[in-house]
Amino acid sequence: MHVTSFRLSSRVCDSCMLYKGAFSIVRRCVKKSTGQEYAAKIINTKKLSARDHQKLEREARICRLLKHPNIVRLHDSISEEGFHYLVFDLVTGGELFEDIVAREYYSEADASHCINQILESISHIHQHDIVHRDLKPENLLLASKMKGAAVKLADFGLAIEVQGDQQAWFGFAGTPGYLSPEVLRKDPYGKPVDMWACGVILYILLVGYPPFWDEDQHKLYQQIKAGAYDFPSPEWDTVTPEAKNLINQMLTINPAKRITADQALKHPWVCQRSTVASMMHRQETVECLRKFNARRKLKGAILTTMLVSRNFSGELYSDTSDARDSNYIRPIRAQTGPSAPLRSSPALFWCAHMHLFCMFVIMEYISISWHFPCCAPIIPSLHGKVSPASPQEAQTTVVHNPADGTKVSRSSHSRKQEIIKMTEQLIEAINNGDFEAYTRICDPGLTSFEPEALGNLVEGMDFHKFYFENLLSKNSKPVHTTILNPHVHLIGEDAACIAYIRLTQYIDSQGRPRSCQSEETRVWHRRDAKWLNVHFHCSGAPAAPLQ
């Protein structure tokens, strides 16, 4: 079938553009003979390396083999000079996990129905000697927005062809939280890796958070290799023993003893769900899953930041690994253009690549509550008590919203406390009109988006100096600032991003007490063992002292 048998919209618009990446776009297309709509992935092959060409051919070859109602089907693969077209099913229902949180009712039986369809897709690909290697929520889609729409497995970009049940080393591939112990040990592996990932997904479907979690990736991998997970109270108390039994069989460390897809389909919790799985509505699971989804989006936003951060710090990385996450960057997905050394100043570097990320963090931060005890492992928070304030610090209060049972490494906790402390000191310098202290904490090329600049990007200290000299230093009225729920993301060893709500109390010109609020994100970079603020984004009203 030639590409002309499909009609691609000639105009680029929101309705026809489904996805845009570095070297490919996905657009709606229509088969002329039937009027049927499909999704066409259009790859610019001129920009691909020889290795990427091989990966593309492998993906197309694998997808041609797979024809199952629970798999996004490839209908055509067309090569032309400079471009390659992959024509897939048009799936319009979005991610399964996003659909679940929008439901009015969600039970263990619903989770069983979901996992049944996922197992059907895994069984089909394993029968064809294909291993997906990247099973995760992002790749579980719904055929449509209709109630009861089929779950479809997507994205075979990391899939490989194997010889039956033979095990071999096919490279380090996958997404960290879903990697199996054998992959982390760099042992030979095969089809069982998909069943391990399925066990992680099932665990999340039942309680809304993953079985393995640590901000320190090394510790996360240690947990996985040891199979160190449990079923904590109270959220697991209402889950049936049969569901826990299936998870245990999926998350078996020894791949030879791990349950297969065909065996799992015969498990009572799956094939007899109407009598075995609980029908009780799981509201806490839905709430936790909503926050889990928000975190996944946030980690996606960090991808580009991690890429740029590594280039900026001079660390070299190669695409010898196919792992996908904020800690594993695949240039074909993450880059927005050809890679080139970064020679700009730290401030310009952060400005160019962080301002959209900062906006995203703020929007996520103010739209959800980060405090959810039932899923504490998801969002590590800072639950140490704030030390007594010195006289200079008396005007700033930090209010944490701790999550009990959170696991945070001491080094991560210490660095997060450093970032919060530096943010407190910076705000105190603003409140006190101390420009000298402010300049010691900020990079000379500080960039910012703030209400006072009317939405314009500001670089350097002159803009801020004007306010210090003409307003802040002359403000003798008391000002008290409260930093609400600071949330810190560590980006490598020498960079961090903090998001928080800044509540300011002050006395207006009439002597009346007032308060105002702003949502802020600050990016910190450590140079010569000293943290400097290199970029910040402030939304909402201008801070009280500037009014």
Which residues form the catalytic set? 134
| Chain mean position to CA 101 | 17
How far is it, in rounded angstroms, from Cα 354 to Cα 307? 12
Residue 526: phi and psi, rounded to 5, are -95, 125
Edge-first strand order for the sheet with 457-459 is 396-399, 479-490, 495-507, 513-527, 530-540, 442-449, 457-459
Q: E-strand spans in 135-286?
A: 140-142, 151-153, 160-161, 173-174
CB 339 within 8 A of CB 22: no
Strand 160-161 versus strand 151-153 pairing type: unpaired
CB 152 within 8 A of CB 71: yes
Q: In terms of C-beta density within 10 A (0-12 exposed, 13-18 middle, 19 or more buried), how is residue 41 classed?
A: buried
Q: In terms of C-beta density within 10 A (0-12 exposed, 13-18 middle, 19 or more buried), how is residue 509 classed?
A: exposed
Question: Could you give the C-alpha distances from 525 to 305, 313, 346, 435, 467, in angstroms and in order?
Answer: 13, 10, 8, 20, 24
Q: Which helix (H) or strand (E) holds 273?
A: helix 273-276
| Chain mean position to CA 310 | 18
What separation, in Å, do the N-terminal and C-terminal C-alpha atoms of the chain show? 66
| Chain mean position to CA 481 | 31
**Eight-class DSSP state of 474:** G
